[in-house]
A and B are shown apart, each in its own frame.
Chain A
């Protein structure tokens, strides 16, 4: 475990197993999760709460259920570890699979059902975890790539509120994209 402090965490190669500061996160359904502070601080939202000194007790996260929170914690842990193992540089959030060794893990991580995926997006947004937001949004975008608008509507249960004329108009404006 990387040692941590209350200020911005700098990842380093030493792995000390003592005096690791922990915080407790409480999900919307009442479950509490104790995690290393450094892992929790992957979330900018939690980081600000801790830095503002309001984190003495548990940090309540009313927008995140326990199932999702446990996954998010898993993600943060994994990415924090990876950052610790590599050089002390910024973990690249752009998913460039040739350089990012976490890509395979990330790919497995997002193999979940649609609901969970959207929950993860909402959680990543609420907790302000850039890497997770990027990963989950990109996953959904990839689900859309290659599909016609009708297929997208079916995949995501979207109601078509265009009249046929309106839809033809929109299509025509960007005709080249459909060819």
Chain B
């Protein structure tokens, strides 16, 4: 690697190649001869490092090539350390917080997470992030991880215990809830899950409790309790987060903090009501509040498709279906962050069959609806994408797939696709690849490529749905992403504490939780004394 630039001074460097390089080359030779090392390790010639190295290493023959100043990483300015550290994957960056206090403060800088995420995906949203398909049914969970190559895990093994809930073991309430209380996974957003448990009014007045948790970081927070209601009617629950700038000076999104909303939407009791009752939890206030939200069009009860399709969060908005007399009338759009007093309404696509089930999903920030045409022949399904919220909604038909066009190396699947009994209902849209959709074919989870019409097997549902032949409602299928930086769980603000049930205490500081844990242990550990035999 001769240096080609012309040096005007008299120093003759043509015959003498760069001194540092010659040492690098000779060191490399030595390296191969003498000892095995991590191949990624760069030859380090500094004296400190040599001293710590193994004795076999020969001393550096030409010490005069050492640079006069010995720059340590600690002497680099913080801005440079910042540049280096945000290029680390999240896990390593967080481990580096414990290297020294200076490193911790650099990593905790408000812009750190944002830079780290931008660095990993500079041009667009990622389209290779791994994710997990979490399917919930009757207190059981099936989790199917998909890695970056979109490879599934085959059977998606439900664990030996049978309910697949081990990955939620870090939640304090889960042990108790598993055995005693009705609880369910209500919603998911990014890599967060919203879990609801209902304590029946047996010992006390009962309550409903929501918990937001991140299964990867094992963080969790329990929201303030709501009183138990005997007749709550059909409730739709939406969960949504917005990255929020806590740093007003920077005036930009830092991705370090999020603002969260949990919205409980009550079914209208009559048809054509223009006001809808909701309970909204906001992480900004730390409280639930009741509100009456107005709608530009009359809304109807949630019986039927709305309950089946659930609430979908997309673009900072919540969406659900409005139906009347078994005919889908449209979709309700609600912004819990900016305009929580009123919601909007969008019409369904023109070529949409209003009498049939519809399922929702999101693909990279765009709302998608999926409809199977079971009534018509030839059987098919269609996918529309919402392009514009204005003008009561502009939709675009993205795919229409006929069963007879599907191909697969699994003849069973093809047989099922042509069955009269409706199969092939939507489970989820693939988060990274627009043309792939997950369908349920009886007991199978099937991956369908809508461009090539190829069906492949992605998993099995027997353990989750042992005797259940109906379709799993799409609202119980959660796409739990694994973003390059995990979404933090909201910080507690003014949550209240005490309750007779220790397992679901609110925590504001780790010490409090620790104390409680100790108390629980004490209670568990002191058994009733058994009278000793005389």
Contacts and interface: CB of A to CB of B under 8 A. Distances in A.
Interface of A: 24, 30-35, 65, 67, 70-71, 73-74, 77, 94, 108, 110-119, 121-122, 125, 133, 137-146, 148-149, 152-162, 167, 170-178
Contacts of B71: 115, 118-119, 122
Nearest to A93: B122
11 contacts: A32-B8, A118-B71, A125-B80, A137-B84, A137-B87, A144-B84, A156-B73, A157-B74, A158-B74, A161-B102, A177-B92
A167 B101 CA distance: 9
B44 to A, nearest CB: 6
Interface of B: 1, 3-9, 11, 18, 20, 24, 40, 42-46, 48-49, 52, 66-67, 69-74, 76, 79-80, 83-85, 87-92, 94-104, 122, 216-218, 510
Contacts of A143: 40, 42
B85 A141 contact: yes
A143 B49 CA distance: 14
B78 to A, nearest CB: 12
Contacts of A152: 96, 99
Contacts of A65: 67
B100 A159 contact: yes
A144 B96 contact: yes
B80 A122 contact: yes
Given A34-B7, A74-B4, 14 more contacts: A31-B9, A33-B8, A67-B20, A70-B3, A71-B18, A73-B5, A77-B5, A111-B43, A112-B24, A113-B45, A113-B46, A115-B70, A118-B73, A137-B84
B76 A118 contact: yes
B76 A31 contact: no
A176 B7 contact: no
B92 A158 contact: no
A122 B76 contact: yes
B162 to A, nearest CB: 25
A167 B99 CA distance: 8
A112 B42 contact: yes
Given A112-B20, A114-B46, A115-B46, A153 B85 contact: no
A108 B96 CA distance: 27
Nearest to B83: A137
A170 B104 CA distance: 9
Contact of A162 (B18, B91, B100, B216): B100
B208 to A, nearest CB: 28
A73 B56 CA distance: 36
Nearest to A34: B6
B334 to A, nearest CB: 33
Contacts of A24: 8
Contacts of A144: 84, 88, 92, 96
Contact of A116 (B9, B67, B218): B67
B70 A70 contact: no
A174 B94 contact: yes
Contacts of A157: 48, 72-74
Contacts of B92: 144-146, 177
A160 B99 contact: yes
A177 B67 CA distance: 37
Contacts of A74: 1, 3-5
Contacts of B72: 118, 156-158
Given A119-B67, A122-B76, A113 B52 contact: no
A149 B426 CA distance: 46
